[in-house]
Chains A and B, each alone.
Chain A
């Protein structure tokens, strides 16, 4: 489903050019659970951002379902975010002025879909937050916020979930629960790619890709 061929990404810092990714080639299969790991600065987040479509690579080809993502225009990218790929962030990024129901419903608003409350309750049930619909983010723990973020990502029916250090702000127990939740998404036909520097979490994935200095050293 996802093919990255000889992806290069550079950042210009003053007069210095920093190679974040150097000819990275990866294939991610449908319905798989993949972990991308490596030290800080190895290019994990940059790779994930390219896969999410948030930034474009300087060289190389990004194919999603055999479509060239590099050539997507603004409208196509918006459709890509709405229907294909969802991101879970380390900092959760829930909107503080919306309650849990409204946060989860946000992608559906932009898809112009009217969904009733029972569907939202089903999503909450799926992530283990039954009855929390009217809570505001500041009333939730870190683990609960991340669950809401996962529900928000899934509600629009995306096929791929990308997670950038989803357990970075959580304690060990909550981190373990979140990783388990992400792993269970395969049962719903979702492909999961998780970026982490924690090898213990990475080991729970079916496949681990190791990056070092912008290169793939292990697939």
Chain B
């Protein structure tokens, strides 16, 4: 209890230490949580899309030669899903697609079912809506009718809201069988699902000619993004660690000044029977308590920060409390270690030092 009285009496000397520690801890935890969330988000998108989804974009306006296309598919043992995107005045994307699209992009349904082979074969008037598209079109359940380019389509399924991925804005999409052609195509895309994982760039260079196409392997892109994100995260963590180091050095310096100012108090305590170990433990505990308070304030700030970001809708931040607890324990151990040298100096102050000070 008297240790608490001691800290309270000297609180003016500890305020800045607590604030500096809190800011450093806040930075460390923020970088850790944000980078963790971003990396997990990329991993989730990766999981949603499948590792071997590749986008091939033709720069020529001519359709792909069917024979070449058949040879290509056989050569690489791939499955394909073709999508023809167009945009109408209602600002949602009409996508003419095959039945495989839902499986390839792991589209999850909230209601109903996806387009099947018979829908594609017979060009049935049915559609699957993305979550936001259904809201814009005023559709709430399967079986409702929507008008697309003057044609009435029956809603066969409504998709769950999903994170934007790199190729398809699923939430805004209105998916219809590929047989419909409204004549206002903007982008033709063919999605490949490669089963044997062979590198196909060389083949396409030979067949299509270098520069006539764009081939993007999604897993490569996401891996690159993940690597970049990790690198940025590591840089930010390094900066945050430097900030923490500066804070710790400042704390050590402040503690040493504090001890010099309390020389007489230490000397008197020794005159009252305090041993070197008693003084050492007292100051070590003091530094640990101050550092813990700073860590606690930093922790409260990060929870508040995450709450504000989540409420604002800018992004969804999930806090891995186990990871945070692990980070906090490491920080506390570091803070405790920083108190060792000042506590050592305090324990070696003699009674004569105190008397001379007075």
**A104 CA / B275 CA spacing, docked (Å):** 18
> Are A107 and B5 touching (Cβ within 8 A)?
no
Q: Is the interface on chain B under 10, 10 to 19, 20 to 34, or 35 or more residues?
A: 20 to 34
Query: Which of chain A's residues has its CB closest to B358's CB?
Result: A91
Which of these binds chain A: B105-113, B202-210, B349-357? B349-357
Determine whether A78 belongs to the interface, using a CB cutoff of 8 Å to chain B: yes
> Are A55 and B9 touching (Cβ within 8 A)?
no
- Of A55, A106, A152, which one neighbours B352 at CB under 8 angstroms? A55
B1-27 near A? 1/0 per residue, CB < 8 Å: 010011011100000000000000000
Query: Which of chain B's residues has its CB closest to A95's CB?
Result: B265
Determine whether A188 belongs to the interface, using a CB cutoff of 8 Å to chain B: no
Among B265, B271, B358, find the residue whose CB has the most chain A CB atoms closer than 10 A: B271
Known A54-B350, A54-B352, A110-B278; judge A98-B272 contact (CB<8 A).
no
Query: Which of chain A's residues has its CB closest to B268's CB?
Result: A93
A interface size (C-beta, 8 A): 26
> Are A97 and B6 touching (Cβ within 8 A)?
yes
Query: Which residues of the other chain, A, contact B2 by a CB distance below 8 angstroms?
Result: 98, 102, 106, 109
Query: Which of chain B's residues has its CB closest to A54's CB?
Result: B351
Query: Which of chain A's residues has its CB closest to B270's CB?
Result: A81
CB distance from B281 to the nearest CB of A (A): 11
CB distance from B275 to the nearest CB of A (A): 4
> Are B5 and A81 touching (Cβ within 8 A)?
no
Query: Which of chain B's residues has its CB closest to A97's CB?
Result: B9
> Are A49 and B352 touching (Cβ within 8 A)?
yes
> Are B9 and A96 touching (Cβ within 8 A)?
yes
Among B5, B268, B274, B358, find the residue whose CB has the most chain A CB atoms closer than 10 A: B268
Determine whether B119 belongs to the interface, using a CB cutoff of 8 Å to chain A: no
> Are A106 and B351 touching (Cβ within 8 A)?
no
Query: Which residues of the other chain, B, contact A35 by a CB distance below 8 angstroms?
Result: none
Determine whether B264 belongs to the interface, using a CB cutoff of 8 Å to chain A: yes
Determine whether B183 belongs to the interface, using a CB cutoff of 8 Å to chain A: no
B326-352 near A? 1/0 per residue, CB < 8 Å: 000000000000000000000000111
> Are B273 and A107 touching (Cβ within 8 A)?
yes
Determine whether A218 belongs to the interface, using a CB cutoff of 8 Å to chain B: no
CB distance from B28 to the nearest CB of A (A): 33
- Of B5, B273, B350, which one neighbours A156 at CB under 8 angstroms? B273
**A78 CA / B280 CA spacing, docked (Å):** 14
Query: Which of chain A's residues has its CB closest to B265's CB?
Result: A95
Query: Which residues of the other chain, B, contact A111 by a CB distance below 8 angstroms?
Result: 273
Determine whether B36 belongs to the interface, using a CB cutoff of 8 Å to chain A: no
**A49 CA / B351 CA spacing, docked (Å):** 10
Determine whether A82 belongs to the interface, using a CB cutoff of 8 Å to chain B: yes
Determine whether B269 belongs to the interface, using a CB cutoff of 8 Å to chain A: yes
Query: Which residues of the other chain, A, contact B5 by a CB distance below 8 angstroms?
Result: 97-98, 102
Query: Which residues of the other chain, A, contact B270 by a CB distance below 8 angstroms?
Result: 78, 81
**A89 CA / B267 CA spacing, docked (Å):** 12
User: Within residues 83 to 118 of chain A, which ones have a CB less than 8 A from any CB in chain B?
Assistant: 83, 87, 89, 91, 93, 95-98, 102, 106-107, 109-111
**A89 CA / B268 CA spacing, docked (Å):** 10
> Are B352 and A81 touching (Cβ within 8 A)?
no
Known A49-B352, A97-B5, A98-B5; judge A110-B274 contact (CB<8 A).
yes
> Are A107 and B275 touching (Cβ within 8 A)?
no
> Are B276 and A54 touching (Cβ within 8 A)?
no
> Are A81 and B273 touching (Cβ within 8 A)?
yes
Query: Which residues of the other chain, B, contact A16 by a CB distance below 8 angstroms?
Result: none
> Are B272 and A110 touching (Cβ within 8 A)?
yes
> Are B275 and A78 touching (Cβ within 8 A)?
yes
Determine whether A74 belongs to the interface, using a CB cutoff of 8 Å to chain B: yes
- Of B276, B352, B355, which one neighbours A74 at CB under 8 angstroms? B276
> Are A54 and B272 touching (Cβ within 8 A)?
no
Query: Which residues of the other chain, B, contact A98 by a CB distance below 8 angstroms?
Result: 2, 5
B275-297 near A? 1/0 per residue, CB < 8 Å: 11010000000000000000000
**A53 CA / B9 CA spacing, docked (Å):** 30
Determine whether A200 belongs to the interface, using a CB cutoff of 8 Å to chain B: no
Query: Which residues of the other chain, B, contact A109 by a CB distance below 8 angstroms?
Result: 2
Query: Which of chain B's residues has its CB closest to A91's CB?
Result: B358
Known contacts A54-B350, A82-B273, A93-B264; 13 further A-B pairs (Cβ under 8 A): A49-B355, A54-B351, A78-B270, A78-B273, A78-B274, A78-B275, A96-B9, A97-B6, A97-B9, A98-B2, A98-B5, A107-B272, A107-B273
What are 12 sample pairs from A and B whose C-beta atoms fall under 8 A apart? A74-B275, A78-B274, A87-B271, A95-B268, A97-B5, A97-B9, A102-B5, A106-B2, A106-B272, A109-B2, A156-B272, A156-B273
8 smallest beta-carbon distances between A and B, as pairs = A97-B9, A82-B273, A110-B273, A78-B275, A54-B351, A107-B272, A93-B268, A110-B274
